[in-house]
Amino acid sequence: MKKHAIIPIFIPHKGCPNDCIFCNQRKITAHSKVVTPEDVHNTVATYMSTLSKMNMETIELSFFGGSFTGIPLEEQQAFLKVAKEYKDKGVIDKIHLSTRPDYIDKEILNNLKAYSVDVIELGVQSFAESVLKASNRGHDTSCVYRAAALIKEYGFTLGIQLMIGLPCDTLEYDLYSALETVKIKPDIARLYPTVVIKDTGLYEQMVLGQYVPMSEEDAVMRTARMYKILTDAGINVIRVGLKSSDIISDDDNTAGTFHPAFRQLVEGFIARESIESQIDDLYPGIKDFSNHKWDKCPVCAFVSNEKCRNNLFGHKQSNKLYFENEYARLNIRYLTDRQLNLELADGEYLVSDLSK
Ligand code: SF4
């Protein structure tokens, strides 16, 4: 049963005078109707007609899509007033919003506190100045540190959103961004490999050959490295990769750089790396058929908890096929921790030798 629900209120490009190179919100806004506080009532009513029957643990009302704290204070208050009413009545549990780091100051946070906002996510994208500049973000990293510190000081739950593969980005910058995020200690994070959306500056650069999107393989590897850094530091990575609904339009609008199961690709990659490093320790040289030490074909188990079992197999069984090809001399069983009287954490994988 799903325990956590989000009621999304999409406020397209509201208050955002910026034009980030990867973002098509300006074009979407030009064709979308203005969202009003009345729409918030309607959206909550629509969602609650289903959610109220589902016994959810937490229901969050989430303002996303633009830079919420960039809109005039009175407009913020009109939206927040509706959200707070629902929170005070116990219909929703939390109020959640996302914004830019340069739209955070004490006046803004005092207002958000007065309306019982719980979670503030900052669209940071990168901690490399050159990447922010090349992406036309219009802010530097110093305001990220300042905004994050202020949000924590006020006692809000802090989220950090990072992008991978923007213009000028490198694996080193990605790792640096993840490590800087760990230093800031947010509660939650989101990782978004760059998706090239039509009608954006990035798309134009790609067409002109000035920007080359990451290969899927590269995007998975880089995101996986960042995901490991963040999760090992205890940060809850609540999203990896865009949802198709985030892009608003259909797949034709993404220049082929979008994968609907990106999180599974990343978690499968991490599972495979963990298993491979253990195989190398347990059965050194087993890939080499001229090494007769392993002619007896050892039997081993690849173990995870029930929840992470799919990661062992990989997206569309890609890991299973990979292991069968690369480790043809291993007799592999796929077991859960309970079958071996173990207790493995999420993301923990074990190779256990069953030959003895
Ligand atoms: S990404 Fe955010 S800040 Fe940048 S243009 Fe889009 S809505 Fe504005």
Q: What is the pLDDT of residues 258-297, one digit of tens each?
A: 888 999 999 999 999 999 999 999 999 999 888 889 989 9
Of ligand 1's listed atoms, the one at least distance from the Cα of 25 is 6
Residue 200 · residue 249 · CB < 8 Å: no
Domain boundary pick from 198, 227, 260: 260
Looking at the structure, do residues 39 and 169 belong to the same domain, yes or no?
yes
Domain boundary pick from 243, 260, 277: 260
Comparison of pLDDT for 244 and 287, the residue scoring more: 287
Cα of 120 to ligand 1 centre, how many Å?
16
Q: What is the pLDDT of residues 224-239, one digit of tens each?
A: 999 999 999 999 999 9
Looking at the structure, do residues 177 and 282 belong to the same domain, yes or no?
no
Looking at the structure, do residues 229 and 90 belong to the same domain, yes or no?
yes
Which residues does a 6 A CB cutoff place in the pocket of ligand 1? Answer: 13, 16, 18-20, 23, 25, 66-67, 100, 123
Of ligand 1's listed atoms, the one at least distance from the Cα of 18 is 5
Domain boundary pick from 213, 236, 260: 260
Mean pLDDT of 157-181: 98
| Atom 4, ligand 1: residue with shortest CA distance | 20
In the prediction, which pLDDT does 166 show? 97
Cα of 162 to ligand 1 centre, how many Å?
13
Of ligand 1's listed atoms, the one at least distance from the Cα of 24 is 6
Looking at the structure, do residues 288 and 147 belong to the same domain, yes or no?
no
pLDDT tier for residue 169 given thresholds of 50, 70 and 90:
very high
Sheet strand arrangement including 331-336: 331-336, 299-304, 350-353
Give the pair of three-digit tokens for residue 250.
């259909």
Which domain CATH number covers 59? Answer: 3.20.20.70
Backbone angles phi, psi at 63, to 5 degrees: -90, 120
pLDDT tier for residue 32 given thresholds of 50, 70 and 90:
low
pLDDT over 90 at 45, yes or no: yes
Cα of 300 to ligand 1 centre, how many Å?
50
Burial zone of 247 (CB within 10 Å; 0-12 exposed, 13-18 middle, 19+ buried): middle
Looking at the structure, do residues 251 and 283 belong to the same domain, yes or no?
no
Mean pLDDT of 99-128: 97
pLDDT over 90 at 135, yes or no: yes
pLDDT over 70 at 30, yes or no: no
Looking at the structure, do residues 230 and 282 belong to the same domain, yes or no?
no
Pairing of strands 350-353, 299-304: antiparallel
The least confident of 49-58, 87-96, 121-130, 194-203 is 49-58
Cα of 235 to ligand 1 centre, how many Å?
24
Residue found by looking up tokens 């209120």 in the block: 9
Looking at the structure, do residues 99 and 209 belong to the same domain, yes or no?
yes
Q: What is the pLDDT of residues 184-198, one digit of tens each?
A: 999 999 999 999 998
For CA atoms 228, 194, 214, 142, the dihedral sign is negative
Comparison of pLDDT for 182 and 26, the residue scoring more: 182
pLDDT over 90 at 16, yes or no: no
pLDDT over 70 at 250, yes or no: no
Looking at the structure, do residues 83 and 211 belong to the same domain, yes or no?
yes
Looking at the structure, do residues 249 and 280 belong to the same domain, yes or no?
no
Cα of 132 to ligand 1 centre, how many Å?
12
Looking at residue 63, its amino acid is F
In the prediction, which pLDDT does 271 show? 98
Looking at the structure, do residues 18 and 138 belong to the same domain, yes or no?
yes
User: Which of 10, 11, 13, 144 is the pocket-test mutation for ligand 1 (most atoms within 8 Å of CB)?
Assistant: 13
**C-alpha–C-alpha distance, residues 24 and 12, integer Å:** 10
In the prediction, which pLDDT does 24 show? 81
Domain that holds residue 286: 269-353
- 253-287: b or e for each residue (b if 16 or more CB lie within 10 Å)? bbbebbbeebbbbbbbbbbbebbbebbeeebeebe
Looking at the structure, do residues 70 and 183 belong to the same domain, yes or no?
yes
Number of domains observed in the structure of the chain: 2
Looking at the structure, do residues 244 and 337 belong to the same domain, yes or no?
no
